[in-house]
Amino acid sequence: MTRSRFTVEDLYELGWLEDVRISPDGRSVAYVHVTVERCANRYRRAIYLASAGDGPPRRFTAGTPQDRQPRWSPDGARLAFVSDRHDSRGQIYVIARDGGEAQQLTAMPNGASDPVWSPDGRMIAFLAPVSEEERRREDSGEQPPPPADAWEAKRAEEQRQRDEERKTDPRVITRLPYRGGTSFFDGRRRHIYVVEVPEGDIGVLPTPRRLTDGDLHFGPPAWMPDGAALLTTATRDPEADSLFAYYDVLQVPLTGEQPEALTAPGFSYFDPQPSPDGRWIAFRRLSEARLLGEGSRVAIIAAAGGEISDLTAHTDLDVERFLWRPDGAGVLFSADWYGDTHLYSIGLPGTPTFRSGETLVGGRRMVSEFDVARDGTIAFIAGSADNPCDLYLRAPDGSERRMTAINQALLEGRIIAPIEEVRYLAPDQQEVQGWVLYPPDCEPGGPPAPLVVCIHGGPHTMWGPGLRTMWHEWQTLAAAGYIVFFCNPRGSDGYGEGWRDAIRRRWGEADAPDILAGVEALIATGRVDPRRIGVTGGSYGGYMTVWLLGHSDRFACGVAARGVYNLITLHGTSDAHELIEIEFEGYPWELAEELWEHSPLAHAHKINAPLLLLHSELDYRVPISEAEQLFAFLRRQKKIVELVRYPREGHELTRSGEPDHRADHLRRTLDWFERYCKGT
């Protein structure tokens, strides 16, 4: 079979998997399969079922276009899921495991999400956004009469949309942040509801009951094993003006009594889960003194209250996801470590694995999601250097097998460039881990090839060969004739707290030398043409791209996407304004000189290399004003610079933006390197 090189067009053919859920008996695995509908320029999310025994996975829902969040009932006989098939805001549906027609369970005015079954399978708790006025009407029993016919229903929906538009004309802002994703916040807060699930066909929709109140955001609920209460998180202080921190764990009684706070300030808490026997409550927590530098840890507290005990602090791992072990003797969790994301098990205090723990899923791969059945069977999604995404099953005896081959046809027809690890020394003699891909025709001893340096965002994230969201881009760059290099400089996750926290108040200063040292190490091999080196990155990677261009003449050109360029203005425009406060330990009016010195914009006058700026017009994480400032600075000096603006897109453009925009983004990147790097 003749294999061809990867191209930009392959983006439309690559699918991926999300939200894996294994049935309680371990016999079936539900997951979401995402594919691209090229003609519609959108994604389709359909729920699939895979048997833990033999047989190929089967498509379970149509995904027209979005079915997501599959959740098994306790007896495994039914699945609840969220779909936008009749409502773009998403509603909860229920379908029998044996198949048949999915039945709508909710019709919440602003949509519903995050369903979770009660232990007895009679109810489902979920989240729904509501405003203060909508909560008042609910409490008073005010309900508009149902429409008499389709014409009246259409008129009612048009009136609702008109009322929504008039509420924000003009828009009154009183808090931070006031926008996120690609839209402005509408003043609604996520609250917890419960609804009874009829045993047979759902004729008349049951009426949900709201359990929470107040001007607070509540997190996804989790049932206590006795079914008498739910666990959740809630914003500690509505005036804290924070999107990411200051959450407490609450226990919400089913009786409607006031929720009880189980935690106190000092940490921010996430994802509370009760142990199978209900004696303990586990959660992730972040120290509010070092919200980003220290990383996330799993801790537990007795359900009856008491002292909180850290389970993972001694591991120096930043926990991404966790679940209780079925026997309740410990937890399973995933964490980054030296370019891989593994799945670990650690016991409760007093058990043999409390301090030692064990690695359940290792190897050169990145586990993105996982779930565990009552018998200990683990289903997980992972990517590796030669396969960006598939579903795997780990049996209780430790044996594994791959459950899917979603991109097999495409991968078998393409030349996959091996991703080789490189280790090298930074100027201070610290070892840095990186990786390199070589073009198919780049042989040792041959003519030197152009190099593209790719830089991750975050800044506290980690890249590795199995990273699905970058896998196709790396392969496409290599296929186009470039050596591709990426690394995890200081500030990256996956190397312990000291490495992660090394860039505090040292953005650009602590991490740029790590990247440049990798470039020099590759030049020393004789395989890289030192005159033809390009650099690119997104978000903090965009920051670092422009920082390097302003501090080094090593690069022939650069492509900076959705980058941070002015730390002073970013604080006042980003929905993550606290990033500056945390990383630099202060505010712009206190640290103006320091923040300006660490801003790539302050050094833009030293940039000589051609620079392409790619930015989304609805990016509220790093607003487009960052790119506008940099473009104006460079254009005023008549430097070679180009700004491309993507309408309708936010900060996630290259990961979940419109397929055509993602393809255009990569195509323009390649064209820029072709013009100013390969041809230099």
pLDDT in tens, 293-325: 788 999 999 999 889 999 998 999 999 999 999
Q: Which of 600, 616, 442 is nearest to 535 (CA)?
A: 600
Q: Which of 561, 364, 557, 384 is nearest to 457 (CA)?
A: 561
Indicate if the pLDDT at residue 545 is higher than 80. Answer: yes
Task: Return the beta strands (E) in 426-527 as ranges.
Answer: 431-437, 449-455, 483-487
Q: Cα–Cα distance between 336 and 318 in angstroms, integer?
A: 7
Q: Check residue 224 and give its pLDDT.
A: 98
Compute the Cα dihedral for 219, 222, 115, 53 and give only its sign: positive
**569-572 long-range contacts, CB within 8 A, separation 24+:** 569/625, 569/626, 569/629, 570/622, 570/623, 570/626, 571/595
Q: Check residue 151 and give its pLDDT.
A: 86
How many residues does the structure list for the chain? 680
The set of residues, in sequence order, having a beta carbon less than 8 Å from that of 581 and lying 6+ positions away, is 571, 587
Q: Is 638 exposed, middle or buried (0-12, 13-18, 19+ CB in 10 A)?
A: exposed
Indicate if the pLDDT at residue 223 is higher than 60. Answer: yes
Domain residue ranges of the chain, discontinuous segments joined by + = 417-678
HEC string of 600-622 equals HHHHHHHCCCCEEEEEECCCCCC
Q: Check residue 242 and give its pLDDT.
A: 83
Q: Which of 294, 269, 141 is nearest to 207 (CA)?
A: 141
Q: List the strands of the sheet with 91-96, edge to edge.
A: 67-72, 78-83, 91-96, 103-104
Q: Cα–Cα distance between 119 and 123 in angstroms, integer?
A: 8
Q: Check residue 241 and give its pLDDT.
A: 82
Q: Which residue has the higher pLDDT, 195 or 202?
A: 195
Q: Give the CA distances from residue 611 to residues 53, 90, 470, 539, 604, in Å, rounded to whole numbers and listed in that order.
A: 53, 41, 21, 15, 11
pLDDT in tens, 56-92: 999 999 888 899 999 999 999 999 999 999 889 999 9
Q: Check residue 680 and give its pLDDT.
A: 56
pLDDT in tens, 319-342: 999 999 999 999 999 999 999 999
Please answer whether residues 378 and 26 qualify as being in contact, where contact means their C-beta atoms are separated by less than 8 angstroms: no
Indicate if the pLDDT at residue 445 is higher than 60. Answer: yes
Indicate if the pLDDT at residue 679 is higher than 80. Answer: no
Q: Check residue 623 and give its pLDDT.
A: 97
CATH hierarchy code of domain 417-678 = 3.40.50.1820
Indicate if the pLDDT at residue 237 is higher than 90. Answer: no
Tokens of 461: 């994230």
Indicate if the pLDDT at residue 351 is higher than 90. Answer: no
Backbone φ, ψ for residue 50 (5° rounding): -120, 135
CA 218 from centroid of its chain's CA atoms: 19
Alpha helices in 69-149 (DSSP H): 132-140
